[in-house]
């Protein structure tokens, strides 16, 4: 029995291994999603048009009919356009007219869409749009402060998202709206990869064993399920830690918001009731029933809209904080929140300029805290006062002390171990006896009668810590590497009391660095200490290009605390106290503080879990110095003396006088 070799058709083709997703950071111009004009204004135009047609359709149709057919007597049909159309056999004409309007709108939207493009190069993210009035916006990658992915509820239903590249400066943001959710996530990954300075793409081809062979039916079913899930929820979990480091119960979010709102409701409610009671009592005493009825009507007319507004504002703030999560990613910290409209922020390393932990008096019995940050939002001063802009500065809406510690570990991974007591025991919960905070002297107590014992600062090798408030406890941390400056001020009253005010400058945000009533010596020590320590901290900081020194072909360029690093890097070499820093400057350490060997809020330098920006790149190989060849001795150039001619043959003569020898040249002289 003979056997024939199998034909190529009989051999099952191996499962194709999906390669890396196509990148859009190719320097070419790409267009937005085709439905972008609809969600950027076309939807509102359609709604307004439908409202006008629904309310003015009789007048509009009568005007059109009288314009083209004055003898049609449209009014005889009772003003019903449907009866008039059917009676005159104009149904086809009406359908064609509606179709023409739709075609015109589609053509307008298509032209608008054609003129909206974006491009990602190695240096910039660019967006150009407009037909008559054109605009071209550009965001340098080396100044990217974050990338936000927003999915409004209408766009979220059909799988669209808006990408916002946050720049450094006034009105410096660049918006890419709208893109498909999967495409927006790929664009965000490309922008962060290029901004990090990574030298290679992170996506690698998966091994064939990772894709087992399945039946075509199962494969089709899986693709459909994956597409529907991605359309609604987004496929944004490829580079995020398995779960959020903080879990906020819904009841805590609602309770924290209602506690603050309830105080204002009670306050204004009492004022309203007192005013209404005065009006009613006056009307009853005067026997003026109409005035009493008018007062009750005005009360309901004012009170009901106020209640509706309070409920709407409270619900809007609660819905923005629901589904909150914060997790480490290869490119920093990712914060997600929102119930209907979801927002995903990515904060790269080194983009946080100040952190503040605060607790109100009403939250103190529950042990709740909130964390705010100062960051460059790329918006104008007026835009930063809006509620949506302020939401971007909140990294923890409400949480317990353990939640605060986890969040601080993510956003301040370089904080040394010596700073932890300054944050909690000496800082937020202080003052305690012997803490290193420099506070107001007793003679300046009248400036802050309640909190003068807490009002002060502490300077460490990492940052400046400001402790303020007693009713509303606040502790602000300003990292030295990103400090904008420190200034002192002293008025005539300050000079009389021998005190001074200080201001720690940061970028615009909810956190201020104002101190008042400090001892003049303490204020001078603050400005002198910051002047020295900030220079060294900025020289050691390498978060600007956090993935530049990492081999990202096999792993992420940046490994946040608790996130596994894919490429081992050489350990960092910390500068011990008293050693020489850049330029020969000694490392500054404030009196009373010991240097920390390794941060306790993050893995030790050199471990596989340490952030890449905390690793020191290996020094380049040092070539051996070239062999030093001694210079050849300088031989003086002396004109040669021609030899004497031999004497002619002659009878012996008396001995000739000897020729004067040439004196040796002076070794210190040379011919030029």
**Max Cα separation, the chain?**
173
User: In terms of Cα–Cα distance, which of 142, 154, 173 is closest to 388?
Assistant: 173
Give CA separation, 156 vs 9, 186, 228, 365, in Å. Answer: 44, 17, 12, 39
Average confidence (pLDDT) over 381-397? 74
What's the pLDDT at 221?
60
> Considering the chain, what is the average pLDDT of its residues?
73
**Is 274 in contact with 266 (CB distance < 8 Å)?**
no
Which is more confident, 131 or 599? 131
Residue 109 pLDDT exceeds 80: yes
Residue 365 pLDDT exceeds 70: yes
Residue 236 pLDDT exceeds 50: yes
CA distance 554 to 300: 67
Average confidence (pLDDT) over 269-298? 79
Q: Encoding tokens for residue 216?
A: 């075509």
What's the pLDDT at 465?
94
486 backbone dihedrals φ, ψ, rounded to 5°: -135, 140
CA distance 36 to 38: 5
User: For the segment 423-479, what is each residue's pLDDT rounded down to a tens digit?
Assistant: 888 988 888 888 889 999 999 999 999 999 999 999 998 999 999 999 999 999 999
Residue 176 pLDDT exceeds 50: yes
Domain boundaries, the chain: 30-196, 250-321, 353-540
CA distance 455 to 492: 21
What's the pLDDT at 78?
55
User: For the segment 321-346, what is each residue's pLDDT rounded down to a tens digit?
Assistant: 888 999 988 888 999 998 888 899 98
User: For the segment 556-615, what is each residue's pLDDT rounded down to a tens digit?
Assistant: 333 444 433 333 333 333 333 433 333 333 333 334 434 434 334 444 444 444 444 444
What's the pLDDT at 382?
62
Average confidence (pLDDT) over 16-39? 75
Average confidence (pLDDT) over 73-80? 55
Peptide bond into 178 cis (omega under 30): yes
Average confidence (pLDDT) over 219-229? 53
CA distance 33 to 227: 17
């Amino acid at each position: 029995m003979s056997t024939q070799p199998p034909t190529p058709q009989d051999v099952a083709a191996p499962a194709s291994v999906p390669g890396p997703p196509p990148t859009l950071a190719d320097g070419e111009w790409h267009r937005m999603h085709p439905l972008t004009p609809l969600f950027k204004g076309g939807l509102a135009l359609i709604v307004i048009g439908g409202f006008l047609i629904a309310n003015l359709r009789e007048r509009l149709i009568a005007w059109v009919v009288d314009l083209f057919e004055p003898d049609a007597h449209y009014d005889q049909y009772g003003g019903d356009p449907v009866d008039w159309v059917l009676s005159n056999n104009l149904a086809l004409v009406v359908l064609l007219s509606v179709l023409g309007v739709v075609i015109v709108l589609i053509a307008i939207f298509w032209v608008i869409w054609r003129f909206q493009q974006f491009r990602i190069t190695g240096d910039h993210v660019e967006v150009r749009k407009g037909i008559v009035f054109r605009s071209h916006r550009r965001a340098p990658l080396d100044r990217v402060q974050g990338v936000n992915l927003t999915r409004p509820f209408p766009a979220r239903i059909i799988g669209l998202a808006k990408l916002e590249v946050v720049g450094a400066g006034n009105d410096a943001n660049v918006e890419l709206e709208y893109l498909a959710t999967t495409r927006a996530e790929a664009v965000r990954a490309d922008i962060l990869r290029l901004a990090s300075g990574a030298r290679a793409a992170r996506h690698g081809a998966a091994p064939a064993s990772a894709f087992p062979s399945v039946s075509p039916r199962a494969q089709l079913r899986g693709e459909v399920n994956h597409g529907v899930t991605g359309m609604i929820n987004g496929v944004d979990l490829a580079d995020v830690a398995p779960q959020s480091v903080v879990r906020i119960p819904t009841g805590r979010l609602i309770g924290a918001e209602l506690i603050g709102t309830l105080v204002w409701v009670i306050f204004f409610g009492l004022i309203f009731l007192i005013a209404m009671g005065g009006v009613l009592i006056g009307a009853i005493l005067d026997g003026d029933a109409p005035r009493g009825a008018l007062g009750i009507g005005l009360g309901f007319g004012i009170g009901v809209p106020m209640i509706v507004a309070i409920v709407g504002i409270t619900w809007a703030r609660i819905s923005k904080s629901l589904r909150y999560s914060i997790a480490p990613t290869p490119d920093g910290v990712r914060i997600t929140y929102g119930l209907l409209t979801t927002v995903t922020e990515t904060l790269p390393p080194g983009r946080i300029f100040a952190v503040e932990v605060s607790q109100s008096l009403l939250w103190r019995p529950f042990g709740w805290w909130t964390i705010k940050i100062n960051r460059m939002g790329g918006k104008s001063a007026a835009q930063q006062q809006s509620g949506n802009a302020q939401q971007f500065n909140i990294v923890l809406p409400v949480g317990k002390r353990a939640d605060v510690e986890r969040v601080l570990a993510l956003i301040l991974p370089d904080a040394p171990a010596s700073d932890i007591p300054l944050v909690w025991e000496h800082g937020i919960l202080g003052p305690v006896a012997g803490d290193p905070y420099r506070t107001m002297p007793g003679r300046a107590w009248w400036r802050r009668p309640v909190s003068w014992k807490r009002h002060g600062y502490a300077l460490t090798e990492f940052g400046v810590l400001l402790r303020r408030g007693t009713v509303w406890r606040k502790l602000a941390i300003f990292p030295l590497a990103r400090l904008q400056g420190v200034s002192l001020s002293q008025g005539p009253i300050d000079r009389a009391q021998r005190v001074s005010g200080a201001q720690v400058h940061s970028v615009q945000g909810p956190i201020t660095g104002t101190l008042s009533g400090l001892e003049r010596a303490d204020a001078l020590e603050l400005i002198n200490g910051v002047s020295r320590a900030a220079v060294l901290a900025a020289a050691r900081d390498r978060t600007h290009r956090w993935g530049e020194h990492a081999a990202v072909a096999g792993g992420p360029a940046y490994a946040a605390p608790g996130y596994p690093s894919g490429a081992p890097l050489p350990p960092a070499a910390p500068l011990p106290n008293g050693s020489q820093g850049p330029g020969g400057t000694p490392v500054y350490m404030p009196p009373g503080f010991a240097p920390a060997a390794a941060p306790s809020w993050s893995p030790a330098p050199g471990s596989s879990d340490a952030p890449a920006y905390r690793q020191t790149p290996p020094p380049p190989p040092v070539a051996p110095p070239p062999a030093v060849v001694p210079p050849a001795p300088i031989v003086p150039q002396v004109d040669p003396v021609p030899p004497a001619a031999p004497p002619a043959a002659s009878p012996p003569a008396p001995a000739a006088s000897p020729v004067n020898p040439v004196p040796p040249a002076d070794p210190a002289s040379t011919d030029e």
